[in-house]
Chains A and B, each alone.
Chain A
Amino acid sequence: MCLAIPARVTVIEGDKAKVDFGEGVLREVNVSLVEPKIGDYVLVHAGYAIQKMDEKDALETLALWDEILAKQ
């Protein structure tokens, strides 16, 4: 039940935002816990965005993997 799905923020209205889960799946979610900007990717769980994702963080994961695999 802790499944959370990334979605892109398309419209923001106060605490709520319309997000795009991809392939045309749109939904209104509460974004008060992360305060994103339009275009940001957020991780959505049970109608609430619980964390923001950004390119820098994602690239850090890649760097971490490379670092870990190279270090053996």
Chain B
Amino acid sequence: MTAELSEMSEKLRYRDPELASEIAQKIRALTPVNRTIRFCHVCGTHEWTITHYGLRSLLPANLEVIAGPGCPVCIVPAAEIDEAIQVAQKGAVVTCFGDVLRVPGSRTSLLEAKAEGADVRVVYSVTDAVEMAKVDPGKEFVFFAVGFETTAPSTAVEALRPPPQNLSFLVSHRLIPPAMELLLGVGDLQINGFIAPGHVSAIIGLKPYALFPRIYRMPTVVAGFEPIDVLMAIYMMVKQLSNGSSVLENEYARIVKPEGNPKALEAMGKAFEITAGNWRGIGRLPDSALTLRRELSSYDAHQKFGVKVEQGKDILLGCECHLVIIGRIKPNQCPMFMTACTPEKPVGACMVSSEGTCRVWSTASS
């Protein structure tokens, strides 16, 4: 099986430079010459692939690929970081993904809170938080649940199991399609097509994107994360533009099924309600956040610890994260990029997470 698959992946040539240059040539041939074409992706991993493999250098000068709000850590509002810090200060053990640790709250990050004595622990999976809570029943544990639809099902499964009584959740999950819709309302962005995120789509399937081609006349292609996947998606989109069509296509059919993952969707539906949510740098978006259902409220850390921060300080003076997050400017157009704001000493959330646009660009520029 392994040998067969390795032979097969060789045959698929996911990173083949010759195939890349063949596709790039076709992209150049089909890209309209008389105007700027701007495609937007909404996934930090896509930004990594595009930057790491230098894919922008293969595209015509008038074809831009911009990064939308695709980093789930970057868009967690400061108020929700503040809540996690408050919970830790009340004596609970706060568990979170490593990326979340250094994201700035209104005054400090979870890492700084840890340095001051709070018990904050990094986990690889929500399951680790469950195990920690089981082995230490005398302590309260909180899982700070950050992530898009790719991550939310795992939180849902553990919340429904049910979890140990000494574990509760601060749910900061967000949904991608409402953020994509928001971008279309930003007048001067003028997006001509969406590269939809492959691993979010592995869960939600194709249906939630249907409105983009149908209502907004926006070519939309779900793409995988190898360089050939991304180039192929761009090619499929310029092809649609040249035909004057706008349809939803699935380049990542090897992972993304039209129906997504029904079991994951079922778990999410049972555990969460969809509600309005704040996004750092963007503001409040309707139907874009998940919150635990009323039946699970005893596992809601907001209620268990009586914390609710209505408003936080999302963007520090001089930081342009709010413009980077929506693709309005490139990281190197922020005056702080790699001067006052570096991966070692990040000012804005986009420089913290390995999927933040500024962080991805910092690695490429060093």
Interface, chain A (partner B; CB < 8 A):
1-4, 8, 29-30, 32-35, 39, 41, 43, 45-48, 50-51, 53, 55, 57-62, 64-65, 68-69, 72
Q: How far is the CA of A35 from the CA of B4 in the complex (A)?
A: 22
Decide if A1 touches B253 in the complex (CB within 8 Å): no
Decide if A1 touches B73 in the complex (CB within 8 Å): yes
Kindly identify which residue among B154, B235, B355 contacts A47, using a CB–CB cutoff of 8 Å: B154
Chain B nearest CB from A58 CB (Å) reads 5
Kindly identify which residue among B4, B239, B255, B264 contacts A72, using a CB–CB cutoff of 8 Å: B239
**A and B contact pairs by CB, cutoff 8 A, 30 listed:** A1-B71, A1-B151, A1-B355, A2-B147, A2-B150, A2-B200, A2-B355, A29-B125, A30-B154, A34-B261, A41-B5, A43-B199, A45-B199, A46-B97, A46-B125, A46-B150, A47-B128, A48-B153, A50-B202, A50-B264, A51-B202, A58-B5, A58-B8, A58-B254, A61-B12, A61-B254, A62-B11, A64-B251, A68-B232, A72-B29
Chain B, 112-130, contact with A by CB distance < 8 Å: what is the 0/1 string?
0000000000001111100
Q: How far is the CA of A62 from the CA of B146 in the complex (A)?
A: 34
Decide if A48 touches B154 in the complex (CB within 8 Å): yes
Q: Which residues of B, 1-25, contact A by the 8 Å Cβ criterion?
A: 1-2, 4-5, 8-9, 11-12, 22-23
Decide if A1 touches B99 in the complex (CB within 8 Å): yes
Decide if A58 touches B12 in the complex (CB within 8 Å): yes
Q: Hey, which chain B residues are within 8 Å of A48, CB to CB?
A: 125, 127, 153-154, 157
Q: How far is the CA of A43 from the CA of B311 in the complex (A)?
A: 37
Decide if B5 touches A4 in the complex (CB within 8 Å): no
Q: Which residues of B, 245-298, contact A by the 8 Å Cβ criterion?
A: 251-257, 261, 263-264, 267
Q: A2-B147, A48-B125, A51-B261 are in contact. Are A57 and B5 (CB under 8 A)?
A: no
Decide if B4 touches A55 in the complex (CB within 8 Å): yes
Assess whether B104 is interfacial by the CB under 8 Å rule: no
Q: A2-B150, A55-B4 are in contact. Are A62 and B12 (CB under 8 A)?
A: yes
Q: How far is the CA of A47 from the CA of B158 in the complex (A)?
A: 12
Q: A1-B97, A32-B157, A43-B199 are in contact. Are A50 and B254 (CB under 8 A)?
A: no
Decide if B148 touches A2 in the complex (CB within 8 Å): yes
Kindly identify which residue among B148, B197, B253 contacts A61, using a CB–CB cutoff of 8 Å: B253
Chain A nearest CB from B290 CB (Å) reads 15
A34, A41, A45, A72 pick with most chain B CB within 10 angstroms: A45
Q: Hey, which chain A residues are within 8 Å of B197, CB to CB?
A: 2
Q: How far is the CA of A51 from the CA of B253 in the complex (A)?
A: 12
